[in-house]
Amino acid sequence: MTAALTLGPIAYHWPAETRRDFYARIADEAPVDTVYLGEVICSKRAPFFEPDLPDLVERLQRAGKTVVLSSLAEVMLPRERQATRALCEMDGIEIEINNAAGLQARAGAPHRVGPFMNAYNEAAIDWLAQNGATHVCLPHELPRASLAYAAAAASQICVGTEFQVFGRAPLAVSARCYHARAHGRHKDNCQFVCEDDPDGMPLLTADNTPFLRVNGIQTQSESYICLAREIPDLVAIGIGHLRLMPQSIDMVAVATAFRQCLDGVIDGEEAMSRLSLCCGATALSNGFFHRVAGRMLVTGRIAASADGR
Amino acid sequence: MTIAELVCPAGTPASLRTAVDAGADAVYCGFRNATNARNFPGLNFSTDELAAAVAYAHSKGAKVLLALNTYPPAGHVDLWRDAADAGARIGVDAFIVADMGVAHYIARRYPDIRLHLSVQAAASSPEAIRYYCDNFNVRRVVLPRILTIPEIRRIAQDIPCEIETFIFGNHGLMVEGRCSLTNYVTGLSTNMDGVCSPAADVEYRRESDGAVSSCLSGFVIDRFASDEMAGYPTICKGRYRAPHRPEGYYAFEEPVSLNLARLLPELIGAGVHAFKIEGRQRSKSYVRSVVSAFRNAVDDIRAGREANIAGLLQLTEGGKETQGAFETKKWR
């Protein structure tokens, strides 16, 4: 048994040229099976990226990748409603839906369910599958026992499962842009200051402990989730797709470490030490999976938690 | 004019009776477990307590809305189904839900009991709301606190169900149902456990310069001078440092409370059916004061009189209040 590797959508406002270069390298060098494209966080950013989309899709598909288009997590304004409707009415390419407005527009046609849809349990997955879902990305905070339960239930109804194994945790979204706020602006006159922070804007506590990252309306973890040691376990419990979230580091090296670990070329410890090198000073964490604080890095033997979750 | 139903918090049987006596049209409450989003120590209801509370409320003409508005983690769905079964047996007037699995169960099993869509479902567009109405026969949506009044008016024209909005109390900054800050820091989940910045993880630490650090699981969420009152360390209300803000600033929001008393007539005009007061964790006397004040205000507005709302300001957090997103897009 093994699992596929996927690359989630870029959460940040990277300049168009950076994105083009990034995906060109992913197409040529990264051992990932599936690439998710699209602006998920802020609808104001989409126009910078959309003109390149057809070429990127073609480039990645030519390299043998499955390409999926992801929809916005927050849908409120007319332009967000319109963008979601337009995406969800597309055919000829797979889409991943991140908001119930997208489910309504999709009207039961096949689709993937994104991590912002809150598919926490077998009952929700079953409902979504009855209404066209073929594949579900489970919420990043689900602990191991629930992941195993959800994966088993999904597999019985032939629904694919996916889980984030690398990158900052998507802790929260808001209607308010905290990037703009940090610069004394608001969302409508933000001047795209989020472009200055390609890996998120750090927030430190009063005693200078790195704590969170701001990415426009999104709040992320300071640490990168890294479930490399847990790969054999994730495969064993039936998670079929492991998602890497793009960060401003060498993502080809990250994908290669995960791929080699999946293939048994290197073990989890070796993968962890390679990934630590890739990530520089950024802390790694795996707490959510082990049912402790998400920020923590559990290094000991993987044990079932006392309450069965 | 809509009914302008006043929906009031009941963290305990005593505060439920207080809210009903003070003029609540409906009260909302939850069981003493992870099935609701205020799973705090010392709060909420046993099955027997809820049965007695429903009997009391109904005898006074008030409704009881049962919050089952957290997300069951896989393998634990039965706790939520059992809670729904108990609520149906007791005769609650509506369930407030967020998870699609829970919504589907109740819609199929108890089609005659009203379903309200919790703010935790984060349905903020007509399309998202219609999804829940079409599929689960949702009769009312509790709107996220992120919309302006003109936006609420447009939504009201576009959906087949009632609208409930928050008007007073704690002002959550993150989209409800999409926040795992507490789990990241403490290991307890808002969505799965109904916990937010849990008291057991709070510590107030005196620093050598006399300042007081307000900490959650050892993280300094805010720091106060010796002459300031130290606030509770809620993560989204903390003061942090950023590259452009080395002095520290409220990165998400100042510690303020939501107070829409002045906007009540406009909200009614926009088509809002019910007003929700936050605060199941609050004391009986707080509930009595706030519910009475809003009861009078709503009655005045419905009778065409000017509402007197001066008394409400002193009940807001630190005396500081906001109209949040409701008044202007610039809040965003």
The full 3-state SS of chain A, as one line of letters, equals CCCEEEECCCCCCCCHHHHHHHHHHHHHHCCCCEEEECCCCCCCCHHHHHHHHHHHHHHHHHCCCEEEEECCCCCCCHHHHHHHHHHHCCCCCEEEECCHHHHHHHCCCCEEECHHHCCCCHHHHHHHHHCCEEEEECCCCCCHHHHHHHHHHHHHCCCEEEEEEEEEEEEEECCCCHHHHHCCCCHHHCCCHHHHCCCCEEEECCCCCEEEEEECCEEEEEEEEECCCCHHHHHHCCCCEEEECCCCCCHHHHHHHHHHHHCCCCCHHHHHHHHHHHHCCCCEECCCCCCCCCCCCCCCCCCCCCCCC
Strands B257-259 and A4-7: what pairing?
unpaired
B157 and B223 together in one domain:
no
Query: Do B237 and B277 share a structural domain?
Result: no
Put simply, the answer to whether B105 touches A172 (Cβ < 8 Å) is no
As a whole number, mean pLDDT of residues B259-267 equals 91
State chain B's mean pLDDT as an integer: 93
Task: Specify the length of chain A in residues.
Answer: 309
Q: Which residues of A touch B126 (CB under 8 A)?
A: 81
The pLDDT of residue A309 is 41
Range with the lowest mean pLDDT among A23-32, A151-160, B232-241, B295-304? B295-304
In this prediction, residues A35-61 reach a mean pLDDT of: 96
Q: Which of A141-155, A188-202, B168-182, B263-277 has the lowest mean pLDDT?
A: B168-182
* Distance in Å, alpha carbon of B20 to nearest chain A alpha carbon: 33
Pick the CATH number of A4-168+225-285 from 3.10.20.590, 3.50.50.60, 3.30.420.40, 3.20.20.70: 3.20.20.70
- Shared domain check, B125 and B213: no
Angle at which helices B126-136 and A78-88 cross, to 10°: 60
- Mark whether B237 and B223 lie in a shared domain: yes
B246 vs A: CB within 8 A: no
Min distance A24 CA to chain B CA atoms (Å): 32
Return the pLDDT at B1. 55
Residues of B in contact with A212 (CB under 8 A): 181, 240
Q: How far from A166 is each of A140, A141, A227, A249, CA to CA, in Å?
A: 10, 13, 7, 12
Q: B325 CB near a chain A CB, below 8 Å?
A: yes
Same domain, B278 and B131: yes
Tell me if chain A has a CB within 8 Å of the CB of B230.
Answer: no
Does residue B310 carry a pLDDT above 90?
Answer: no
Q: Do B73 and A309 touch (CB under 8 A)?
A: yes
- Site of tokens 């990264």: A30
Q: Give me the residue label for tokens 């990127």.
A: A56
Q: How far is CA A212 from CA A178, A218, B82, B243, in A?
A: 12, 10, 37, 13
- B176 domain-assigned: no
Minimal Cα–Cα distance from B4 to chain A, Å?
A: 24
Q: How confident is the model at residue B316 (pLDDT cuts 50, 70, 90)?
A: low
* Chosen domain end from B250, B267, B302: B250
Average pLDDT, rounded, for chain A: 95
The model's pLDDT over A96-121, given as tens digits with 9 standing for 90+, comes to: 999 999 999 999 999 999 999 999 99
Lowest-confidence segment of A15-24, A209-218, B113-122, B250-259 by average pLDDT? B250-259
Across the interface, whether the CB atoms of B240 and A212 are under 8 A apart is answered yes
Whether residue B187 lies inside any domain: the answer is: yes
Tell me the chain A residues in contact with residue B76 when contact means C-beta distances shorter than 8 Å: 121, 146, 309
Q: Is 90 exceeded by the pLDDT of residue B315?
A: no
Contact B192 A120 (CB under 8 A): yes
**Chain-chain contact of B185 with A186 (C-beta, under 8 angstroms):** no
Option in A101, A120, A182 nearest B242 (CB): A182
Q: Residue length, chain B?
A: 332
Question: What does the pLDDT look like over B191-241, one tens digit per residue?
Answer: 999 999 999 999 999 999 999 999 999 999 999 998 888 999 999 999 999
Residue of A nearest to B254 (CA): A181
B311 lies in some domain: yes
**pLDDT tens column, B274-306:** 999 998 889 999 999 999 999 999 999 888 888
A100 vs B74, B128, B245: nearest CB:
B128
Q: Please name the residue of chain B whose CA is at the shortest distance from the CA of residue A204.
A: B241
Closest alpha carbon within chain A to B100: A124
So what's the pLDDT on residue B170? 81
Contact at CB, B180 and A174, closer than 8 angstroms: no
My answer on whether B216 and B274 are in the same domain is: no
Residues B187 and B146 in one domain: no
Q: Are residues B224 and B281 in the same domain?
A: no
Looking at the structure, do residues B154 and B190 belong to the same domain, yes or no? Answer: no
Residue B180 DSSP SS3: coil
- Domain containing B273 equals 5-171+256-331
In a domain, B33, yes or no: yes
* B234 and B116 belong to one structural domain: no
The whole-angstrom separation of Cα B141 and Cα B137 is: 11
- Name every chain A residue with its beta carbon within 8 A of the beta carbon of B97: none
Whether residue A141 has pLDDT greater than 60: yes
User: Span B121-130, mean pLDDT?
Assistant: 97
| Residues in chain A closer than 8 A to B131 (CB atoms) | 100-101, 103-104
- Report the alpha-carbon distance of residue B314 to residue B255 in Å, rounded: 14
Q: How many domains does chain B have?
A: 2
Shortest CB distance from A294 goes to which of B184, B223, B239?
A: B184
Task: Please check the confidence at residue B132 and state whether its pLDDT lies above 50.
Answer: yes
Q: What is the pLDDT of residues B94-123, one digit of tens each?
A: 999 999 999 999 999 999 999 999 999 999
Instruction: Tell me which residues of chain B, numbers 174 to 193, contact chain A at a CB-CB cutoff of 8 Å.
Output: 174-175, 177-181, 183-187, 189, 191-192
- The residues facing A113 across adjacent strands are A97, A136
Domain edge (last residue) among B250, B268, B283: B250
Probe site for chain A from B70, B100, B109 (most A CB atoms < 10 A): B100
* pLDDT band for position A25 (cuts 50, 70, 90): very high
Lowest mean pLDDT among B17-31, B117-131, B310-324: B310-324
| A100 to B134: CB separation less than 8 angstroms, yes or no | no
Which chain A residue has its CA at the smallest distance from B106's CA? A123
Identify the pLDDT of residue B318: 56
Q: Are residues B215 and B118 in the same domain?
A: no
Q: Residue A307 — pLDDT band, cuts 50, 70, 90?
A: very low
Closest chain B CA to residue A181: B251
What pLDDT does B218 receive?
A: 97
> Residue B104 maps to which CATH number?
3.20.20.70
CB contact under 8 A, B180 and A140: yes
Rounded-to-integer distance, Cα B302 and Cα B305, Å:
7
Residue type, A307: D
Q: Which residue has the higher pLDDT, B42 or B312?
A: B42
**pLDDT on residue B314:** 66
Contact criterion met (CB below 8 Å) for B86 and B31 = yes
B96 touches A at CB < 8 Å:
no
* C-alpha–C-alpha distance, residues B163 and B151, integer Å: 12
What does the pLDDT read at residue B328?
Answer: 73
Residues of B in contact with A221 (CB under 8 A): 184
For residue B147, what pLDDT is reported?
86
| Cβ-defined contact of A205 to B187 (cutoff 8 Å) | no
pLDDT level of residue B2 (50, 70, 90 thresholds)? low
Do B244 and A183 make contact, defined as CB atoms within 8 angstroms? Answer: yes
Chain A and chain B share a number of CB contacts under 8 A equal to 227
- Tokens representing A7 are 């690359």
B125 interfaces chain A, CB cutoff of 8 Å: yes
**Does the pLDDT of residue B65 top 80, yes or no?**
yes
Q: Do B194 and B312 sit in the same domain of this protein?
A: no
pTM for this one? 0.95
When comparing pLDDT for A205 and B2, which is higher? A205
What confidence score (pLDDT) does residue B306 get?
A: 84
For chain A, the domains span: 4-168+225-285
| Cα–Cα distance, B235 to A164 (Å, whole number) | 24
| DSSP conformation class of B140 | E
